[in-house]
Homo-oligomer: A and B are copies of this chain.
């Protein structure tokens, strides 16, 4: 691990769905750090370096006893603080014997880990991902584990929806996306792309969800929150019913949710969901929407999957330049700029959080 990694370390990253973590040892690599996750007896999620202090065997190959992990090779025991509490055949324990413990928070149905300096891990820095809570907004998502691309390519993808017209021409693409100007705004840690398409014919997907004939006003309001989250507020309402001015009551509103963690420099875990506020009790619709996104290679996100991995392979073969950019990239460019600043701050911090993170 060096400063040259393309991901900030002092940040919360999604590591797992809450439902994945139980009384077993689960291995996952986040930001190039091998981590073992498990649920403590009190229900809290613990995250330790997945390599025994002694001989580096992944602790995930050992077993969980109470709130401690027993290494599967020589039986060293580590508590959830990462401190070794037992060594085989000796009474005295080397006080430096420990593995890293990673701060975790379980929120919005996801487990978030902080791969950097634990002293800086403030739960207040968690991104807003409440759409995923399962309360007001409903939906069933999924995960692409070890998607073979730089995680930032996923951010680029989601911050520019013109790609829908080409990658997803049969479902949500629409020429209006191209013809309609959009705005980009930003804060220190967010970038938002807003596009309103007024009085257009709805694309097949939204026509079906709305279930009313006629022209619609369609919106796409996509917000990146550095470093790991993208929320897309999307929907349509009958044209002229006031959606652009805030009254979406006649329309249908959905949101695509993306929480993305770098696994390595060229792979990532992509936790996604598509939630909605309409027909929230319709479980068949939830399943249909899930299938629309991921369906054995034929879903909308499967189509992105193919593009993202092909793009990464091409980048690997053509290390030529920074990307060239178009107007449509304005949202993605702000996202990249915010990330670059985060990286730069980590690099130059005099107290060296990135170093401390090692």
Q: Chain A residues in contact with chain B, CB under 8 A?
A: 34, 51, 53-58, 61-62, 70-76, 87-90, 94, 97, 156, 160, 162-163, 165-167, 177-179, 181, 306-307, 310-311, 314-315, 317-318, 323-328
Contacts and interface: CB of A to CB of B under 8 A. Distances in A.
9 contacts: A55-B323, A56-B311, A61-B310, A72-B307, A74-B162, A75-B166, A87-B327, A88-B326, A90-B328
Contact of A165 (B54, B88, B167): B88
B74 A163 contact: yes
Contacts of A72: 166-167, 307
Contacts of A324: 53-54, 94, 97
Given A89-B328, A323-B54, A162 B75 contact: yes
Nearest to A76: B326
Contacts of A311: 55-57, 73
Contact of A54 (B71, B307, B326): B326
- Which of A71, A163, A179 is packed against the most chain B CB atoms within 10 Å? A163
A160 B75 CA distance: 12
A135 to B, nearest CB: 35
Copy number in this complex? Answer: 3
Contact of A73 (B56, B307, B318): B307
Contacts of A73: 163, 166-167, 307, 311
Contacts of A97: 324
Contacts of A323: 54-56
Contacts of A162: 74-75, 88-89
Contact of A156 (B51, B55, B167, B326): B55
Given A70-B166, A74-B166, A56 B318 contact: yes
B58 A160 contact: no
B58 A314 contact: yes
Contacts of A328: 74, 88-90
A335 to B, nearest CB: 14
Contacts of A310: 57-58, 61
A53 B317 CA distance: 14
**Which 6 A/B pairs are nearest by Cβ-Cβ distance?**
A56-B314, A75-B166, A89-B178, A90-B327, A88-B162, A57-B311
- Which of A89, A315, A318 is packed against the most chain B CB atoms within 10 Å? A89
Given A163-B73, A328-B74, A317 B55 contact: no
Contacts of A156: 55
A212 to B, nearest CB: 28
A327 to B, nearest CB: 5
A51 B72 CA distance: 42
Nearest to A306: B61
B327 A51 contact: no
A34 B317 contact: yes
B34 A88 contact: no
Contacts of A314: 34, 51, 56-58
A29 to B, nearest CB: 9
A89 B326 CA distance: 9
Nearest to A179: B89
Nearest to A91: B327
Contacts of A167: 72-73
Contacts of A62: 166
